[in-house]
Structure 1
Amino acid sequence: MVTLIAFGTGVAMAFAIGANDVANSMATAVGAKAITPKQAVLIASVLEFLGAVLFGSHVTSTITKGIVKVDIVNDPNTLMIGALAALISSSVWVLAATFWGMPVSTTHSIVGGMAGFGIAAGGWNAIHWAKMVSIAMSWVISPLLGGLLAYGVFKLISLLVLRRDNPVRAAKKTGPIIIWVTFFIIVYLFAVKTVKIGYGKSFVFSFSVSALAMIAGYFLLKRNSQKHNADPYDFVENMFRRLQVMTSCYVSFSHGANDVANAVGPVVVVYSVIKTGMVSSQIHTPIWILFLGGLGISMGVLFLGYRVMKTIGSDITPLTNTRGFCIDFSTASTVLMASVLGFPVSTTHIVVGSVVGVGMARGIEVVNVGVLKNIVLSWLFTVPLAAVFSAILFKLFTLII
């Protein structure tokens, strides 16, 4: 019974992740009308599934995530019940936020769930509070970094391209460089964060791929510039439209690979305890569990992904392809810097901060402060609500199971 509940809840959590977090990758492309909402959910569902199955973490750290001290809470059955409680509480909160249209961090939700069960099981001393403080800091640092970078990138593109007397000529000159930087960051981030092949080899590989992309981009821009003499800004927006779709697809694929552990991690803990009677700090994740997680994420995208997409893509500030590219570029760059430095950040928070940063570059009056306030409130409630609900569920489960 516990196994069935764990797998059912794991799929529900994956569904919630797909419904909420996919806005991180596709919302700006939809808001900028680079692709339609139907195209976005179809593309994202496929890429999320492939990312989860092909590159999902096969060696998943236990769902304690460094929050619960396993030397205090070390009973396998307690960890199993706690993982189940954390999973259910996180799923309920993320789904509730999705129906509300609010983008929240699924990682922070599961962390809150783990903290709640840890306190209920072992008291306040059972929690690594230094880890919790670093997560709380990321609530401020993540959106701030993303917003500042997006603001700067948009201002730079405006200076170098959009405000030039001849935007087409300016785009032909700066376009290859922008293409090189974009490809380098995406490929390097994929190699380091998803494939995990090492910084040195990742740098060489990324440099080579981005150089080829820059050369190809130079000739494509040169050829396409002759077709847009009547509307120079259409040429510029078309260039950024293609780059934006590419970055959105990458973020979606990478999200499936990196965040599927939030859904299947607790399931693996339960599965390991039932199968072996013990739980270790590192557990091998069977491919069929990754398959279930990927399937759940893709279903969440298909059925509910449009809700949060609308909030990020159009409700905060109006977007064009140029602005959408700045957001995606800044998000990928911030995640890359955080990964290299080992600092925990939320992609959801970075995306929202980047959207606000692009809006602020055009003036505070174009940012919907009311929507932004509701988003920030949902962030503040994520950890405490997930923690309280998880603690209650843990106490109930200890009486039943």
Structure 2
Amino acid sequence: MASDLLLALVVAAALAFDYTNGFHDTANVVATSISTRALPPRLAILIAAVLNFIGAFLSLKVAATIASGIVDSGSITLQVVFAGLVGAIVWNLLTWWFGLPSSSSHALIGGVVGAMLVASGPDAIMGEGLLGKVVVPALVAPILAFAVAGVSILLVYRIAGRLSPGPATRGFRLGQIVTGSMLALAHGTNDAQKTMGIITLALVAHGSLNAVDPQVPLWVVISSASAIALGTYSGGWRIIRTMGSKIIKMDAAQGFTAQGSGAAVILAATHVGFPLSTTHVISGGVVGAGAAKRLSAVKWGVAGNMAVAWVLTIPAAGLTGAVAYGLSALVGGGTVGPLVVLAVIVVGTIVALRARSTPPPLAEEAAA
């Protein structure tokens, strides 16, 4: 009974993470279309939510990587999965608070790896899988998107340079509807699968699935797709502003190439089962489309802040996951530990929100 309750808690936490992944990464999909006025905000978000849902059903290779390619599924426990999810959710909320488009994917992987290190030691981490399927793609993907977008925008400007600005802009805005839809579909195929993989890990730890070759149940696919779609529809407006206007002042041609380049890279990675960061990819595409026009078009300070958040994501989420697991184990593990961790998070969130909403003291009060 206690094990079933803990499994339900872990599944709820996984779907909560999936929801935060949706509203955190909405900007990746819609910011370019909104900033160039290719689509009105609510319509762009609705299209992204629907296609995120559909995309989740197109492949399960990334889910298989998460479930069996990064940590030893035979050593996983429900407490480890829960602690890893805590690390991911906390990092997602923190970066959303500051409007930084960081990677939900790497937050999830970092949280699980950190919790597993504390629980079972380094032998439970599949170093080759972590390096080959997470770290290397994390380095290569944004550079590849940067290069593809940069070359593409130069070709686009050369081809469309003789056209009248008005018709050309309208044409690229229509093209953005297509490339933006492709990007949303690609986001669903890659990002929703991470939650599927983590719930599958929890089912393995619970004993509901075979640890040797776990198959993702249909109810996991449907619930994960629904959670990320709902999160996407809620919209992460803080990050949308960063992606849409704070990196470069984007025109329709740049939005078209950035979206198309990002979609191509993500779909290729999904095909081979790499749990790619869609944030890294589309950010690389946006910067590449701006830098190819002229280097000064990119606000490199904002891009640098994003890069720092990228570098910190896995270790920061890993540290949070490790602390969450340590606290859970300290109070006795089982179901009690995760419930205590959950209570701490709820109380901390309420305190932070109240501190944020409390007005500063008046000058005369401060003087007194």
Length-normalised TM-score, structure 2: 0.81
Deviations 1:93-146 (A, max 9, x none): 112212222112222112112221221122223323333334333333222111
Cross-structure match for 1:211: none
| Counterpart among 88, 92, 95 of residue 94 in structure 1 | 92
Aligned residue type for 2:242? T
Aligned residue type for 1:61? A
Percent of matched pairs sharing the same residue:
28
2:22/2:231 contact within 8 Å kept = yes
Distance, in Å, in 2 between the alignment partners of 1:359 and 1:58 is 33
Structure 1's 56 and 152: CA in aligned 2 closer, same or farther, altered over 3 A? closer
Asked if 1:400 is matched to 2:333, the reply is yes
| Counterpart among 6, 19, 23 of residue 27 in structure 2 | 23
Cross-structure match for 2:345: none
Cross-structure match for 2:83: 85
Structure 1 unaligned spans of 5+: 168-231
Distance, in Å, in 2 between the alignment partners of 1:6 and 1:332 is 31
How many residue pairs end up in the alignment? 327
Deviations 1:11-38 (A, max 9, x none): 2111111012222221111111101212
Cross-structure match for 1:173: none
Distance, in Å, in 1 between the alignment partners of 2:273 and 2:32 is 27
1:84/1:266 contact within 8 Å kept = no
Asked if 1:299 is matched to 2:223, the reply is no
Cross-structure match for 1:159: 158
Distance, in Å, in 1 between the alignment partners of 2:53 and 2:156 is 34
| Counterpart among 172, 185, 206 of residue 240 in structure 1 | 172
1:11/1:263 contact within 8 Å kept = yes
Structure 1's 335 and 119: CA in aligned 2 closer, same or farther, altered over 3 A? same
Matching of residues 266-277 of structure 1 within 5 Å: 266-274=198-206, 276=208
Structure 1's 268 and 342: CA in aligned 2 closer, same or farther, altered over 3 A? closer
| Counterpart among 7, 12, 35 of residue 8 in structure 1 | 12
Structure 1's 83 and 62: CA in aligned 2 closer, same or farther, altered over 3 A? farther
1:45/1:299 contact within 8 Å kept = yes
Deviations 1:225-261 (A, max 9, x none): xxxxxxx222112222112111111221232233212
Cross-structure match for 2:36: 32
Cross-structure match for 1:177: none
2:6/2:78 contact within 8 Å kept = no
Structure 1's 248 and 148: CA in aligned 2 closer, same or farther, altered over 3 A? same
Asked if 1:44 is matched to 2:48, the reply is yes
Cross-structure match for 1:148: 147
Matching of residues 1-400 of structure 1 within 5 Å: 1-52=5-56, 54-55=57-58, 57=60, 60-61=63-64, 63-70=66-73, 74-75=74-75, 78-134=76-132, 135-162=134-161, 164=162, 167=163, 232-274=164-206, 276=208, 279-338=210-269, 345-398=276-329, 399-400=332-333
Deviation at 1:365, TM superposition (A): 1.9
Deviations 1:130-189 (A, max 9, x none): 333343333332221111111111111112221x3xx1xxxxxxxxxxxxxxxxxxxxxx
Distance, in Å, in 1 between the alignment partners of 2:12 and 2:105 is 19
Structure 1's 99 and 142: CA in aligned 2 closer, same or farther, altered over 3 A? same
Structure 2 unaligned spans of 5+: 335-368
2:67/2:214 contact within 8 Å kept = no
Deviation at 1:59, TM superposition (A): 9.8
Cross-structure match for 2:358: none
Deviations 1:332-351 (A, max 9, x none): 23335545677664322121
Aligned residue type for 2:131? V
Distance, in Å, in 2 between the alignment partners of 1:266 and 1:131 is 16
Structure 1's 296 and 339: CA in aligned 2 closer, same or farther, altered over 3 A? closer
Length-normalised TM-score, structure 1: 0.74
Structure 1's 330 and 50: CA in aligned 2 closer, same or farther, altered over 3 A? closer
Q: Secondary structure at the match of 2:214?
A: strand
Q: Secondary structure at the match of 1:361?
A: helix
Distance, in Å, in 1 between the alignment partners of 2:49 and 2:274 is 28
